[in-house]
């Protein structure tokens, strides 16, 4: 009698997670920009990412969602090797950008980061002028040959980030003097000034108010014409609004990947469903 009671009891989330082996949905796509296979990430002895395989298609916006501490940011930081800056972090598995292994010895992280830009959770403008913030990337990479070209790149980047009209009269004032939302758009402008192929965004709107968030989302919409974007977000609404595909992470495992609409309306996996419906988070 006791036995039957136990079998009838619904599985806990931890049990479902422990049993989960293979990602549900369509993690792969044909024309992949990024293709990653069996990625494990360790911090010292602790494993943070378990066997994640996922493709990101060209000119696609992929949202990574999941409860906090699920490894979505860690996975994102593998894609341009930002994890290299943490001594104890170790990445195994295969990560390819345009069919090239980004963790191979001959791969230059500097070149990789010039191709795969990143926008961070908290706006982090340098303590320099707005102009110098945007010009920083082109300058270090030697992308422009003269001042006129550089001016053009700065103006165009700021325009694309939807910031130019707001700051055109004070380009030489410190970037730290802008509002939070403007700072984040400045950081996006700074990233696209290098003209990367992919932009990684790590919860870009989490520190911003709703109006600034709306502007950032609008910006993502425009950017996806030219760029491949991977965005980590804790807001499901935001994922639904900006992305074509959504990947759901849970405690280091990739549970489900699919068309955004399908994931939010008809999740295939029990955990995804519980998360979407707000049973935990």
Partner 1 sequence: MNTGTIVLFLLIFAGFNYFIKHRKIYAVYRVNRKKQSNKMTLPKYFGYVASMWSLIPALLVLLVIEIIDEPLLKSNITNYVHAENIEIGQDLDLYLNDIKNIKTDNIKDVDPIKLKVHEHYQNFETLISKAKTIIVISLAVLMTIFGFKKVTINTPARVYFEKVIEIILLLAATIAILTTVGIVLSVLFESLRFFGEVPILDFMFGTEWSPQTAIRSDQVGSSAAFGAVPLFVGTMLISAVALFVSVPLGLMSAIFLSEYASSKFRSFAKPVLEILAGIPTVVYGFFAALTVAPFIRELGTSMGLSVASESALAAGVVMGIMIIPFVSSLADDVISAVPNAMREGSLGLGATKSETIIKVLIPAALPGIVGGVLLAASRAIGETMIVVMAAGLAANLTVNPLEAVTTVTVQIVTLLTGDQEFDSAKTLAAFALGLMLFVTTLILNVIALHVVRKYREQYD
Partner 2 sequence: MWSENTENSMISKISNTEKVKKSLKSRYLKEKIFKFVGLSSIFVAFFFLLILLSDVMMKAFPAFIQTKVELELDLSEENTGVSAKSDIKEIKDVDYRKIIREALSAEFPEVKKRAEKKTMFSIISTGAEFQLRDMIVDNPQLIGSKQKIELVADDNFDALAKGQIDLTGEQKRFDDLTINLYKELDEKGKVNKSFNWQFFKTGDSREPEQAGIKGAVIGSLYTILVTLLLSFPVAVAAAIYLEEFAPKNRFIDFIEININNLAAVPSIVFGLLGLAVFINFFSLPRSAPLVGGIVLSLMTLPTIIIAARSAIKAVPPSLREAALGLGASKMQTVFHHVFPAALPGILTGTIIGMAQALGETAPLLMIGMVAFIVDIPQAITDPATVLPVQVFLWSDSPERGFLEKTSAAILILILFLIAMNALAIYLRKKFEKKW
Q: Which residues bind partner 1 (CB under 8 A)?
A: 80, 82, 85, 87, 110-115, 117-120, 122, 124-128, 136-137, 140-141, 187, 190-191, 194
Query: What is the rounded distance in angstroms from the CA atom of residue 227 to the CA atom of residue 140?
Result: 22
Decide whether 153 or 242 has the Cβ nearer to partner 2: 153
1-34 b/e (C-beta count within 10 Å ≥ 16 → b): eeeeeeeeeeeebeebeeebeebbbebebeebbb
Asked if residue 16 binds partner 2 (CB under 8 A), the reply is no
Query: What is the rounded distance in angstroms from the CA atom of residue 181 to the CA atom of residue 211?
Result: 8
Query: What is the rounded distance in angstroms from the CA atom of residue 86 to the CA atom of residue 167?
Result: 35
Smallest separation (angstroms) from partner 1 to the CB of 21: 33
Report the site for partner 2 in 165-204 (rule: CB under 8 A). Answer: 194-195, 197
Smallest separation (angstroms) from partner 1 to the CB of 216: 17
Smallest separation (angstroms) from partner 1 to the CB of 55: 22
From partner 1, partner 2, none, which one binds at residue 127 (CB under 5 to 8 Å depending on kind)?
Answer: partner 1
From partner 1, partner 2, none, which one binds at residue 187 (CB under 5 to 8 Å depending on kind)?
Answer: partner 1
Candidate segments 84-92, 151-159, 206-214, 251-259, binder of partner 2 by CB under 8 A: 151-159
Decide whether 209 or 222 has the Cβ nearer to partner 2: 222
Q: Residue 212 half-sphere exposure, CB side, CA atoms within 13 Å?
A: 17
Decide whether 170 or 221 has the Cβ nearer to partner 2: 221
- 195 neighbors 30 (Cβ within 8 angstroms): no
Report the site for partner 2 in 91-150 (rule: CB under 8 A). Answer: 108, 110-111, 114-115, 140-143, 149
Alpha carbon of residue 262 to chain centroid: 20
54-83 b/e (C-beta count within 10 Å ≥ 16 → b): bbbbeebbbbbbbbeebbbbbbbbbbbbbb
Q: Which of 39, 91, 135, 153 binds partner 2 (CB under 8 A)?
A: 153
Query: What is the rounded distance in angstroms from the CA atom of residue 182 to the CA atom of residue 161?
Result: 9
Smallest separation (angstroms) from partner 1 to the CB of 182: 16
Q: Using CA of residue 253, residue 258, residue 259, residue 265, what is the dihedral sign?
A: negative
Report the site for partner 2 in 207-266 (rule: CB under 8 A). Answer: 225-226
Smallest separation (angstroms) from partner 1 to the CB of 207: 11
Bridge partners, residue 89, by sequence: 43
- 197 neighbors 117 (Cβ within 8 angstroms): no
From partner 1, partner 2, none, which one binds at residue 245 (CB under 5 to 8 Å depending on kind)?
Answer: none
The residues of the shown chain that bind partner 2, judged by CB under 8 A, are 108, 110-111, 114-115, 140-143, 149, 152-153, 156, 194-195, 197, 225-226
């Amino acid at each position: 009698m006791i036995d039957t009671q136990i079998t009838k009891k619904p599985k806990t989330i931890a049990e479902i997670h422990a049993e989960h082996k293979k990602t549900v949905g369509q993690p792969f796509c044909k024309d992949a920009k990024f293709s990653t296979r069996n990625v494990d990430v360790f911090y010292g002895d602790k494993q943070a990412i378990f066997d994640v395989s996922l493709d990101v298609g060209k000119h696609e916006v992929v949202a990574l969602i999941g409860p906090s501490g699920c490894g979505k940011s860690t996975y994102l930081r593998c894609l341009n090797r930002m994890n290299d800056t943490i001594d104890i972090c170790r990445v195994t598995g295969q990560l390819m950008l345009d069919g090239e292994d980004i963790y191979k010895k001959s791969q230059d992280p500097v070149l990789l980061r010039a191709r795969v830009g990143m926008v961070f959770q908290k706006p982090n403008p340098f303590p320099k002028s707005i102009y110098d913030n945007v010009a920083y990337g082109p300058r270090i990479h030697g992308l422009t040959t003269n001042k006129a070209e550089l001016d053009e790149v700065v103006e165009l980047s700021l325009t694309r980030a939807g910031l130019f009209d707001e700051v055109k009269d004070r380009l030489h004032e410190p970037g730290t003097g802008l509002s939070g939302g403007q700072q984040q758009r400045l950081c996006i402008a700074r990233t696209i000034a290098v003209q990367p192929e992919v932009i990684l965004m790590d919860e870009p709107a989490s520190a911003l108010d709703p109006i600034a968030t709306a502007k950032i989302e609008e910006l993502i919409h425009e950017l996806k014409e030219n760029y491949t974007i991977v965005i980590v977000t804790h807001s499901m609404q935001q994922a639904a609004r900006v992305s074509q595909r959504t990947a759901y992470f849970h405690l280091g495992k990739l549970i489900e990947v699919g068309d955004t609409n399908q994931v939010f309306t008809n999740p295939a996996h029990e955990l995804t469903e519980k998360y979407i419906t707000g049973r935990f988070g």
